[in-house]
Structure 1
Amino acid sequence: MSNGNGEKFDKQPKSRGMGRPGGGHGPGGMMGPVEKAKDFKGSIRKLSVYIGRYKIAIFIVMIFAVVSTVFSVIGPKVLGNATTALSTGLGEKIAGTGGIDFSYIGKILLIVLGLYGFSAVFSFIQGWIMTGITQKICYRLRKEIAEKINRMPMQYFESRTYGEVLSRITNDVDTLGQGLNQSVTQIITSTATMIGVLVMMLSISPLMTLIAIIILPISAGLLAFVMKKSQKFFKTQQEYLGHINGQVEEVYGGHLVIKAYSKEKETVETFEKTNDVLYDSAWKSQFISGMMHPIMMFVGNLGYAAVALAGGLLAIRGTITVGDIQAFIQYVKNFTQPIQQIAQVMNQVQSMAAASERVFEFLGEKEEEQIVENPVHLESIAGAVEFSNVHFGYKEDQIIIKDFSASIKPGQKVAIVGPTGAGKTTMVKLLMRFYDVNSGSISLDGHNIKDFNRRELREAFGMVLQETWLFKGSIMENIRYGRLDATDEEVIAAAKAAHAHHFIKTLPGGYDMELNEDASNVSQGQKQLLTIARAILADNRVMILDEATSSVDTRTEILIQKAMDNLMKGRTSFIIAHRLSTIRNADMILVMKDGDIIEQGNHEELLAKNGFYADLYNSQFEQAS
């Protein structure tokens, strides 16, 4: 990669100190980290589109949840009949007028057992269906994000850390899925429970129901107060969880550099500063939200006492039975519980909305134009490239390539040289349309590259960068990445052409040796040879080599140069090099400085001019001597 001035930097922009905000969401729990969505309604509306594909299944979930709740709500009322029968039987037995009807009580208990059994079965089924729906939605979102990444412009990834992008796929989708899975069924169940319990309470005693309802405004007021106090701490917790994610990912990726520069202490101190803020906000948010349960319990117990007192007076008057009091107290408990559950679910819904907003924000990011109307299709590409008055800047007000023009014939070997920041790598990015020019044009075989579909355009190019990229897999698979339908023999031939065959055979397992995640079980020079072998196997018409041999020793570099010379016969090739001795046989050398071509010609012509190129070339040999 390069910055706005064409200078090299690591693939991942590094953030110092506190990392980057908004890195991700923690898992949704009962009172998990909460971040409010900027556009709550809009986020829920977009999420509803995804849920809408499963509306029949959602409807079944609602039916099953309601049925499960109905069975559960009826239970206390029926069980109260058993309590009434037991108390009446005891009274009659004491009075000597009768006894306890155990047969009747046994039937009631069997009915209650059946009711709770059916409730559990329906609850299990609706939970199983809802989990399936949630996982399908999460799968679809992750799939769309993965596909979106391939359509995003390079500028997006150069302005963000890897951890920030990965957080959309992992943390945000997880938070969304957990919130969706728990909130939908919980809201349905809690609402149905409140309605059902209210009906059953009214059927027992309107007066006691009124007493029980009076505690609701008190509970709601206390809940609102606690949530308001904890909200700012949850927001800070969510923000610094993102910082921690970014720092851990960044430090893990660069742990060798950290150790090499003995920066363990500074790194730990930076992490501890961030972690202290996270700890402080997490402790306060969890403590304050943890007060919700004891407060609700206290208010609920006051309600129980008032209901018990009123129920006792009504029972003495003969208005209600003892079993009704027992059932009503149980209903009061079941009436306040859904309120607590809905309050907790609201936190999950807020967190889910914030997570979905971040996901949809990513899915709504501007993409590279993939499809062009009436695109150019070339059966074979010759490799003629034309730069015509190209102007470009990573920012429109900071132009770094100024009036760049050059004409390259098919099969020519073109070297681009110049000091750091001259714009060499930037020209390659423009050629492959990682960025588009501000003005002017770039043509391939006489056609403006904007007239090609990006995919077809890039299929014409093979590329070897100074920064190697190998994935976890065998060496054979890594080389074959250049052309997936290549045979083992073709892969081995490409490795021989890149002078990688010898060292591969000396490794344990040879071509079947597994590279680890960051390919640290082979040397940097060996990594480069493997990427060169991959490019040779791809056999593209235009080759781009950006400091491709900078990580290998001089002897291997000479061998690779010979192999590359043979490979590039008949192909157009662009070589960015700092070691000018490697490009002396180039057909054309473009000398860049401050975004302009200041000299152009072959090696002998440029030396004869005794200009900027001659100074660069001679200075390297002076330093070497």
Structure 2
Amino acid sequence: MAKYGRPQDLKKTLKRLFSYMGRHAFLFLLVGVLVSIAGLANLFGVFMIRPVVNAVGQGHVRQAMTGIVVMAVIFLAGVLSALGYTQIMASAAQQVVKDIRRDLFVHMQDLPLRVFDTTSHGDLMSRFTNDVDTISDALNNSFAMMIQAFIQAVGTLVLLFVLSWKLSLIVSVFYVLMMLYIRFSGSRSKKYFSAQQRELGVLNGFVEEMVSGQKVVKVFNHETANLDTFINKSANLQQVSEKAQSFAQTMVPMVVSLSYVNYAIVTLAGGWLVWNGTMDLGSLASYLVFVRQAAMPINQFTQQSNLVLVAASGAERIFLFMEQKPEEDQGVVRLGHVDGMPCWIHPRPEGEDEIVPVKGVVEFH
């Protein structure tokens, strides 16, 4: 079984990824504004249930209709904002990915030959394909979603205290339990997601070498040995993938289960408060919708955090490769043009360069 070291610096990787996003700061800022509008529209739209229900209970039909119209306008603004940020996010994400792929390719041109001798072609190609794709998926699906989830989680908790601080004490306890489990599961899945990307690169490298060298494999009857090696590498990838997913996939079911228990307890306690007259029916109706939605942003946050961990592991592999020192060019002869014709320019100590026309003739001395 493969040995897994400690995960690399996640903070450093995200900082460098944010530097690429900073090149398109206006687009991401616009996405952030539209996401915030969409998240706040959902919060205030649900909060409008309170005056509508109270107006209906008191027989104020016109007031209830006004509240419904206001609620519809709020939700419409949220829908239009969501439509806008999804389209902008798609363009911004692809521009970031293009910059990363271009910089990776340019840096690769200046690396010494020993890098390519010690790195399999499949592992190198995996950085351009699998690792870059994980970054693209995270930007398209996770960036806006995590901002919206954060706004809704914080906003929901604030409005819950506004509606009823007594019931919110119960909700706060379950919020803490959810966060503790997310932290526990996330810290362990991050380690294996990083190992998963590494083992995937190793497997891709081995497959690429064996496919390109099929003639040599056949000549030396090495099929059985290659199959055994492939099975071992595939088993290593399977083991780390199972561990990564086993920790990551328990987040959502655990959060949902806690949210159901929370909803049941709050419903009973809220009904008792309404029965005693310490809470109006409209506040309870709005409160229960918020409680039912309280687990939604946390679920979204946990789901997207898994994708972010995979993307961070892929970005880490790319940036570590880009940190390798390029080969220093110590040559003094350069290719130039004289009268539109290509020529070699040889610098001379006395100051006047020697011009040698390019004739396409190779001479060995």
Which of 540, 544, 552 is the matching residue for 2:360?
540
Alignment of 1:548-559 (within 5 A): none
Structure 2 distance, partners of 1:238, 1:257, is 29
Contact 2:120 2:206 survives alignment (8 Å): no
Q: How does 1:417-566 map to 2 (within 5 A)?
A: 540-542=360-362
Deviation at 1:71, TM superposition (A): 0.8
1:231-246 to 2 correspondences below 5 Å: 231-246=190-205
Number of aligned residue pairs: give it.
Answer: 359
Kept after mapping to 1: 8 A contact 2:194/2:310:
no
TM-superposed CA distance for 1:129, in Å, is 1.4
Of 272, 275, 291, the residue aligned with 1:332 is 291
Quick check: 1:60 aligned with 2:19?
A: no
Partner of 1:204: 163
Check the 8 A contact 1:77/1:327 in 2, yes or no.
Answer: yes
Match of 1:186 in 2: 145
Deviation at 1:119, TM superposition (A): 1.0
Deviation track 1:55-92 (CA, whole Å, cap 9, x = no partner) reads 22222111111111111111222234444455x37xxx
Structure 1 residues 468-512: Cα deviation after superposition (integer angstroms, max 9, x where no partner): xxxxxxxxxxxxxxxxxxxxxxxxxxxxxxxxxxxxxxxxxxxxx
User: Which of residues 131, 143, 156 is equivalent to 1:172?
Assistant: 131
Could you report, residue by residue, the CA deviation over 1:124-145 in whole angstroms, capped at 9, with x for unpaired residues? 2112212211111111111122
- Secondary structure of 2:48's counterpart equals helix
Shift of the 446–206 alpha-carbon distance from structure 1 to 2, 3 Å rule, reads: closer
Larger relative contact order (Cα-Cα within 8 Å, sequence gap ≥ 6) = 2
Q: 1:46 aligns with which of 16, 19, 26?
A: 16
Partner amino acid, structure 2, of 1:541 = V
Structure-2 change in CA distance of 1:371 and 1:139 (3 Å): farther
1:428-453 CA-partner distances (Å, limit 9, x unpaired): xxxxxxxxxxxxxxxx97969xxx9x
For 1:325, the aligned partner's letter is L
- Give runs of aligned pairs for residues 221-620 of structure 1, distance below 5 A: 221-370=180-329, 540-542=360-362, 572=363, 574=364
Q: Distance in 1 between matches of 2:207 and 2:71?
A: 54
Alpha-carbon distance change, 211 to 271 in structure 1, aligned in 2, over 3 angstroms: same
- Structure 1, residues 389-443: CA drift from partner, whole Å, max 9, x if none? xxxxxxxxxxxxxxxxxxxxxxxxxxxxxxxxxxxxxxxxxxxxxxxxxxxxxxx
TM-superposed CA distance for 1:150, in Å, is 2.2
Q: Is the 8 A contact 1:37 1:350 kept in 2?
A: no
1:147 aligns with 2:106: yes
Q: Which has more helix, going by share of residues?
A: 2
Provide, for residues 320-350 of structure 1, a one-character-per-residue CA deviation record: whole Å limited to 9, x for no partner: 2333222212212333332333334444444
Q: What SS does structure 2 have at the residue aligned with 1:47?
A: helix
Q: What does residue 402 of structure 1 align with?
A: none
Tell me if structure 2 keeps the 8 A contact 1:382–1:541.
no
Question: How much has 1:272 moved relative to structure 2?
Answer: 1.9
1:170: Cα distance to partner? 1.7
Query: Computing the radius of gyration over CA atoms, which structure comes out larger, 1 or 2?
Result: 1
CA offset digits 1:581-622 (Å, max 9, x no partner): xxxxxxx8xxxxxxxxxxxxxxxxxxxxxxxxxxxxxxxxxx
Residues of 1 paired with 2:33 and 2:253: CA distance? 33
How many angstroms does 1:193 deviate by?
Answer: 1.1
For the residues of structure 1 that align with 2:347 and 2:50, how far apart are their CA atoms?
89
Two-structure CA RMSD over aligned residues (Å): 3.6
1:75 aligns with 2:45: yes
**CA 1:115–1:335 in structure 2 vs 1: closer, same or farther (change >3 Å)?**
same
Alpha-carbon spacing, 1:259–1:83, altered in 2? closer, same or farther (3 Å)? farther
**Structure 1's 371 and 172: CA in aligned 2 closer, same or farther, altered over 3 A?**
farther
**Which shifted more, 297-306 or 218-227?**
218-227
The residue that corresponds to 1:487 in the other structure is none
SS at match of 1:369: coil
Report the 3-state secondary structure (helix = DSSP H, G, I; strand = E; otherwise coil) of the residue aligned with 1:296.
Answer: helix
Aligned to 1:214: 173
- Give the TM-score taking structure 2 as reference length: 0.83
Equivalent position of 1:401 in the other structure: none
**Who is 1:602 aligned against?**
none
Deviation of the 1:312 alpha carbon: 0.6
Measure how far apart 1:162 and its partner are. Answer: 0.9
Change (3 A) 1:373 1:205: farther
Asked if 2 retains the 8 angstrom alpha-carbon contact of 1:37 and 1:357, the reply is no
SS at match of 2:142: helix
CA distances 1:22-51 after superposition (whole Å, capped 9, x unpaired): 9xxxxxxxxxxxx98523333223222222
The residue number in structure 2 matching 1:529 is none
Q: 2:73 aligns with which of 90, 114, 128?
A: 114
Shift of 1:209: 1.5
CA, structure 1 residues 373+197, in 2 after alignment: closer, same or farther (shift >3 Å)? farther
- Change in Cα spacing, 1:352 to 1:231, as seen in structure 2 (3 Å) is closer
- Deviation of the 1:374 alpha carbon: 10
Indicate which of 101, 113, 119 corresponds to 1:160. Answer: 119
Unaligned runs of 5+ in 1: 1-17, 23-34, 90-98, 384-443, 461-538, 543-571, 575-587, 589-625
Check conservation: 1:36, 1:350, Cα contact below 8 A. no
Write the deviation string for residues 363-399 of structure 1: whole angstroms up to 9, x where unpaired: 332223359789696969999xxxxxxxxxxxxxxxx
CA distance in 1, matches of 2:147, 2:6: 22
| Contact persistence 2:193–2:313 (CA under 8 A) | no
> C-alpha separation between the residues in 2 aligned to 1:280 and 1:337?
31
Partners in 2 of 1:286 and 1:214 — Cα distance? 27
Write the mapping of 1:3-14 to structure 2, written as runs, cut at 5 A.
none
